[in-house]
Amino acid sequence: MTEQTIGQSHLNIGGRVLAAIDPSVYSESVAHYAAWAAKRLDAPLEYLHVLDRHPEHAPSSDLSGNLALGARETLLQELAALDESRSRLAQDCGRALLGHAQAIAVSFHGVQAESRLRHGALVDTLAEHEAQVRLFVLGKRGEHADFARGHLGSEVERVVRAMHRPILVVSRAYAEITRVLVAFDGSATTRKGVEMVAGSPLFRGLNIEVVTVGAPSDANRRNLEWALATLATAGIDGQGAIVEGEADDVIAQQVKSQQIDLLVMGAYGHSRIRQLIVGSTTTSVLRTCRVPVLLLR
C-alpha cells in the first residue's frame, strides 16, 4: 500500500471537514458527526448554511397585474417588504443554527469550528468549495423531505452524484462510533476504500468488519484475504465474511446483527455493491439504514 494510493482517498490529504446545516431534525446529528470526524482527522471544521429559495413554497400566482396602478404599486411595495422581512428572518435562523452547531462542537467534542452563511443552491455551493474539502457531512434528509413516506432527500442525491470527495451521510440521532462495516467486492473502488480505512486516523482504534456479498468462491476469498491483510499491515485486526444474497439485504442484516455504527461503501460503479448509489437499491440503503453511511468515490 503506497503513499500515493492512500492519498487518492482524499480522507488522508489536507483539507477541512465541511458540514451542511439546515433546519431539519438532522442538524444536531450533523453537528456532532462533523465534529467527531474533524477531531479524529485533526482537520479544520466548518459549518455551512445555504439560504435557498424553494419555489414549491412560493405563492402559486401573482394577481398584481389585475389591479389598478396605485393599488398595484402599493401591493408590490408590501410584497417587497414581506420578502425583505422573510430574508432577514431566514438569515437570523441560519445564524442561530450555525451558532448552535458550533456550541455542540466545542461542548461535546472540544473542537472549534468556523461558520459560513451563503445564498444559492446547496450543490453549487459545495462544489465551489470542494477543492479545499477533505470530507463533506450532511443529513440524509433535508427540511423539505417527505418523512412520512421515508423518502431520501433529493438534495442529498444531487450532492452525492455531483461531489468527488467522501461524503458522510448521517442518521437522525448521534451515537458514538466503535464498530465499522466496510462493503467490499474486490473492485478498484472498494479496494481504495479498504486502503483508506487502513490509512486514515478516522478509523484508528475502531473495530472493522469487512463483508463481501456473493458466493464463497476462490476469487471472493482471495479478495477478502487481501482486504484483511491490508488492514493488518496498518495494525488493524479486522474481521471478514462472505455472505450470499442481495447486496442491500445483506448489508442491512450485517449492520443490525453486528451492531454496526458506521457503514463504508463505494459510491459509483458496476458491481452489485457499487451500484447501490445508482437507483432504487442505494436509495433503499440510505433511506432505511439507521447508521451513518460514508460514501467513497
> Reduced to 3 states, what is the DSSP secondary structure of residue 95?
helix
Place of cell 442538524: 27
CA dihedral 208, 248, 290, 235 (to 10 degrees): 10
Start-end of H helices in the chain: 3-7, 27-41, 69-109, 122-129, 154-162, 188-199, 218-233, 247-257, 280-288
Q: How far apart are CA 245 and CA 65, in angstroms?
A: 61
**Helices 188-199 and 218-233, packing angle to 10 deg:** 20
Question: pTM for this structure?
Answer: 0.82
Q: How far apart are CA 4 and CA 199, in angstroms?
A: 11
pLDDT at position 52 is: 73
Is residue 265 a contact partner of residue 276, using CB atoms and an 8 Å limit? yes
Q: How far apart are CA 99 and CA 75, in angstroms?
A: 36
Q: How far apart are CA 135 and CA 243, in angstroms?
A: 30
Instruction: Tell me the domains of the chain and their CATH numbers.
Output: 1-57+64-174 (3.40.50.620), 175-297 (3.40.50.620)
pLDDT at position 9 is: 54
Q: How far apart are CA 295 and CA 9, in angstroms?
A: 11
C-alpha cell at 155: 438534495
Q: What is the mean pLDDT of the chain?
A: 83
User: Average of pLDDT values for 14-41?
Assistant: 95
Is residue 184 a contact partner of residue 212, using CB atoms and an 8 Å limit? yes
**Helices 122-129 and 154-162, packing angle to 10 deg:** 30
pLDDT at position 36 is: 98
pLDDT digits (tens, 9 = 90+) for 93-123: 999 999 999 999 999 999 999 999 999 999 9
Q: 84-102: string of b/e by CB count within 10 Å (b at 16+)?
A: eeeeeebeeebeebbeebb
pLDDT digits (tens, 9 = 90+) for 133-166: 999 999 986 555 444 444 456 788 788 888 889 9
